[in-house]
Amino acid sequence: MLINEEMKMAEVIHLNHHLLHVINRFGIQLGYGEKTVKQLCAEHELPLPFFLEIVNTFHDPSYFPVDAMLRFDAALLIRYLQQTHAYYLEFRIPEIEQYITRLTTDESWDEAVKRLIRDFFHQYVFELTQHIKREEDRVYPYVLALAHYLETGQGEKELVESLMHYSIQEYENEHDDVESKLFDLKNIIIKYIPRPKDSRILNLILHELFELEDDLHNHSHIENMILVPIVERMEKEFFALTRNGRHD
Amino acid sequence: MIEAVKILLIEPSYIIKEGLRSALGRLNLSFRIDEVDEVKENLVLTLEKFTPRIVFANHRALETKWAGNRSAAVFDEVLLVGMYNEKVTLFEMARYDEVLCIEENKQQIISSLQNILKKAGLLSNESETENLSEREREVLRFVALGLTNNEIAERLFISTFTVMTHRKNITRKLGIKTVSGLTVYAILNKIIESGEVNVF
């Protein structure tokens, strides 16, 4: 069942509690009362179609964004994606870090094993952070400049310059690398850790890793299914404009 | 299989879509499904957009948009499975790599899917956690020590290509893809000593 505007937000959460984080990223916090999706979006000055597309893309993996999303405001989408990044780096990762610390201070574990897991996790965090930074430093400013140009006609020269170094298609290819490391970490814990006396703390870590993986997967799904088509549409418009314009 | 197989489903019927999804879920296969009701432009563009490994297509949703020409490069990597019912002659289905009759019962559908996937090498008969062979352990040891494929090939007097095949099999058997992941595995299993390598 897809989420629609007439549903009460409380019902949405009962239907799928994994959406809590997503809804938070729009600035909508708990305490929904009897308010509907539509009412809460209006209260937070959020375009309803945008909210519904994002939430449904998360909610149903087979959901395919409607064509209207090609007209979504790029700045709005990027603000959402940045919120998601902040959630990973400021909340989710530190939470897993706490569990890892608990593991490393547990005397019943072999020192070498603890160190391997901790170091592997830190390496993963480093790569995830690098990946996010690259998106925020290179991809997003480019997208915003493109939107700005199409709206105002300003900044063409800088755009052409950055286009020579980067195109949105490259960006699609960058996603898989970081995923592999998370995948490995899960498998190492599930299959290859020497059997511990008590695996409760590892269960917690694993649970977190699965959740993080799901969330990241959805995040890149949104980037690939919504952001990339929007940017491709804008790039086309940009080329059409510059080709027909005074530069020809 | 470790990596999720990308599947594209071209089918308007919601019930058939969900049915296929559920049948695939009963196999020992990890997959991701994209769905379209029909092919709006041409098939090549759709394939380029989704880059699937397998396509399940309703023959009726496809027939007017695609005459069976498979010369485009994008077809090389794709397994095309045509879905048909009793109203379609098998002659019409000749353009597909495999066919699936949607009117079969549960057991038949699942076993047809298994056969199709096995033939394509996407479903293995072996269990996922096979042990490494002696040679694979050697290769793993060198990988963990940080050697390149070329260096490993020289040491073991085998071709680089063979090294790559070993590495693929190691990754498939262990479910570990990255070099640092393999290094951790090698240390945990005493294939190398943690002192031998500067892990991270």
- Return the amino acid letter for B117: L
Residue B10 near residue B38 (C-beta atoms within 8 A):
yes
Interface of B with A (CB under 8 A): 17, 21, 32-36, 129, 174-178, 180-181, 184-185, 187-189, 194, 199-200
Under DSSP, is residue B38 helix (H, G, I), strand (E, B) or coil? coil
What would the pLDDT profile of A159-179 be if each residue is shown by its tens digit? 767 766 666 656 555 556 678
Query: Residue range A79-83: average pLDDT?
Result: 93
Q: Which residues of B touch A116 (CB under 8 A)?
A: 184, 187-188, 194, 199
Q: What is the pLDDT of residue B125?
A: 59
Q: Cα dist. B129→A208, A241, B79 in Å?
A: 24, 56, 26
Count of A-B CB contacts under 8 Å: 62
State yes or no: pLDDT of A207 exceeds 90. yes
Query: Residue range A223-242: average pLDDT?
Result: 85
How many secondary structure helices (H) and strands (E) does chain B include?
Answer: 8, 5
Q: Which residues of B touch A120 (CB under 8 A)?
A: 180-181, 184, 200
Best of B8, B185, B188 to disrupt the A interface by mutation (most A CBs within 10 Å)?
B188
Best of A123, A184, A187, A213 to disrupt the B interface by mutation (most B CBs within 10 Å)?
A184
The answer to whether A188 contacts chain B (CB < 8 Å) is: yes
Q: Is B190 left (phi over 0), alpha (psi -120 to 50) or beta?
A: left
Q: Which of A215, A132, A221 has the alpha carbon at shortest distance from A172?
A: A221
Alpha-carbon radius of gyration of chain B: 21
Which residues, other chains included, contact A67 with Cβ-Cβ below 8 Å and sequence gap of 6+? none
Which residues, other chains included, contact B166 with Cβ-Cβ below 8 Å and sequence gap of 6+? B135, B136, B139
The residues pairing with B100 across neighbouring beta strands, listed in sequence order, are: B83
What would the pLDDT profile of B148-198 be if each residue is shown by its tens digit? 999 999 999 999 999 999 999 999 889 899 998 999 999 999 898 877 776
Query: Residue range A124-152: average pLDDT?
Result: 89
For residue B71, how many other CB atoms are within 10 A of its CB?
6
CATH class of B134-196: mainly alpha
Instruction: State whether CATH 3.40.50.300 applies to domain B5-119.
Output: no
Q: Which residues of B touch A184 (CB under 8 A)?
A: 175-178, 180-181, 184
Q: Digits of tens for pLDDT over chain B (200 positions)?
A: 346 789 999 999 999 999 999 999 888 788 888 888 888 777 888 888 888 999 999 988 876 777 778 888 888 889 999 998 877 777 778 888 888 988 889 999 999 999 998 888 887 655 555 788 999 999 999 999 999 999 999 999 999 999 999 999 999 889 899 998 999 999 999 898 877 776 55
Q: What is the pLDDT of residue B47?
A: 87
Q: What is the pLDDT of residue A244?
A: 65
Residue A189 near residue A202 (C-beta atoms within 8 A):
yes
Say which of A64, A184, A193 has its CB closest to residue B177.
A184
Q: Which residues of B touch A119 (CB under 8 A)?
A: 199-200
Q: What are the residue ranges spanned by the domains of chain B?
A: 5-119, 134-196
Distance from CA of B77 to the nearest CA of A (A): 18
Phi, psi for residue B33 in degrees, rounded to 5: -110, 130
Phi, psi for residue B101 in degrees, rounded to 5: -85, 120
**Which string of DSSP letters, residue by residue, matches B62-113?**
HTTT--S---SGGGTT-EEEEEE-TTS-GGGGGGSSEEEETTS-HHHHHHHH
Q: What is the pLDDT of residue A199?
A: 83
Under DSSP, is residue B56 helix (H, G, I), strand (E, B) or coil? strand
Task: Report the distance separating Cα B176 and Cα B185, nearest Å.
Answer: 8
What would the pLDDT profile of A84-114 be if each residue is shown by its tens digit? 999 999 999 999 999 999 988 888 878 888 8
For residue A18, how many other CB atoms are within 10 A of its CB?
13
Under DSSP, is residue A127 helix (H, G, I), strand (E, B) or coil? helix
Which residues, other chains included, contact A170 with Cβ-Cβ below 8 Å and sequence gap of 6+? none
What would the pLDDT profile of A223-232 be if each residue is shown by its tens digit? 888 888 888 8
Q: What is the pLDDT of residue A247?
A: 45
Helix (H) or strand (E) holding B35: strand B31-36
Task: Report the distance separating Cα A191 and Cα A226, nearest Å.
Answer: 36
Which residues, other chains included, contact A191 with Cβ-Cβ below 8 Å and sequence gap of 6+? B129, B174, B175
